[in-house]
Amino acid sequence: MTKVVLLSLTGPFAIRVGKFRQKLHIAGNTKRLLILLAANFNHGLRRESIIAEIWPDADARRGASSLNTAISRLKNCLDPFPDLEIDTIDDVVRMTVSSPALVDGALLQQAVQGTEPSEVELSDSSRSAVASAIGLCNGQFLEGCDEHWVLPMRERYSALYIRALLILMRDAAARGEFERALECGREVLELDPFREGTQREVMWLYVLNGQRAQALRQYAVLRRLLREDLDIEPMAETVRLYSRIKENDAAAVNSRDRIRPMNDRTRSGDQFVQV
């Protein structure tokens, strides 16, 4: 059985077959070109734009020659992967990814597209798609690559990853799987601890999971973080939830209700539980 090729854009750039990273035997500007084309897979880039990015100090003739040489090397490099091709049409260069080859970032985007974090349980197929996409991600977008064009793409993929985690968190909470929901929530907060709405949801999940003391500790950690880093206090909604938990409010502590996200402006633009 032929193993599917995965173009891995999360974590360090790689082409994988199964779980194994393939040796590409390229370096320098040729590798930079491959990463640039891979990040923009199935979208053509003009030769002059590529030359300006990869060989900014070269004159037109030398830049064109360097690009042609690099393209030739890349075609040889990708020869073992027939689903990954370098196309050149007029003044456009493109990496084409054909089925059954996969791209981890594209799978993540497809999995969360049209799905918002909510209290409604996902279908089995949607849950599986989101979980599988997350499972293929190996870290931040093009980790270790410091090209200037990477940062906005890295931020976009980071937002997609957090959104996927929130989708799974609220789906698990809706199904009463609070420990699983907490795993997702804690991972979100590792990536962005200033998402105060998510901090509230994690506090509430601890309550629903029978960990009231941990919910109170979560608040203490958040309060210290906000004071030390931003010199501010938690939002009123967060303080109100903390007070209910601390006072052992029967409705707050004993309720098995689902998390109820509400639209509200917060410091991170995320959502929070209704209290």
Q: What is the pLDDT of residues 88-107, one digit of tens each?
A: 999 999 999 999 999 999 99
Task: Indicate whether 265 pLDDT > 80.
Answer: no
The mean pLDDT of the chain is 90
Which range scores top for mean pLDDT: 45-54, 116-125, 263-272? 45-54
Q: Which of 42, 147, 219 is nearest to 211 (CA)?
A: 219
Q: Tell me, what's the pLDDT at 52?
A: 97
pLDDT tens-digit series, residues 168-211: 999 999 999 999 999 999 999 999 999 999 999 999 999 999 99
Q: For the chain, how far is it from start to end, CA to CA, in angstroms?
A: 53
Following DSSP, what letter does each residue of 128-165 receive, concatenated? Answer: HHHHHHHHH--SSBTTT---TTHHHHHHHHHHHHHHHH
Q: CA 155, CA 142: separation in Å to the nearest integer?
A: 11
pLDDT band at 269 (very low <50, low <70, confident <90, very high): very low
Contacts of 134 (CB under 8 A, 6+ apart): 108, 161, 164, 165, 168
Q: Tell me, what's the pLDDT at 11?
A: 95
Task: Indicate whether 25 pLDDT > 70.
Answer: yes
Strand order of the sheet with strand 84-89?
Answer: 45-46, 92-97, 84-89
Q: Tell me, what's the pLDDT at 251?
A: 56
DSSP class of residue 24 equals: -
- 71 within 8 A of 36, measured Cβ to Cβ: no
pLDDT band at 227 (very low <50, low <70, confident <90, very high): very high
- Domains, the chain, ordered by start: 5-102 (1.10.10.10), 103-273 (1.25.40.10)
Q: Tell me, what's the pLDDT at 1?
A: 54
Q: CA 235, CA 239: separation in Å to the nearest integer?
A: 6
Task: Indicate whether 30 pLDDT > 70.
Answer: yes
Q: Tell me, what's the pLDDT at 2?
A: 67
Do β-strands 5-8 and 102-103 pair in parallel, antiparallel, or remain unpaired?
parallel
Instruction: State both tokens at 52.
Output: 């300006």
Task: Indicate whether 253 pLDDT > 70.
Answer: no
Contacts of 188 (CB under 8 A, 6+ apart): 162, 165, 166, 169, 195, 198
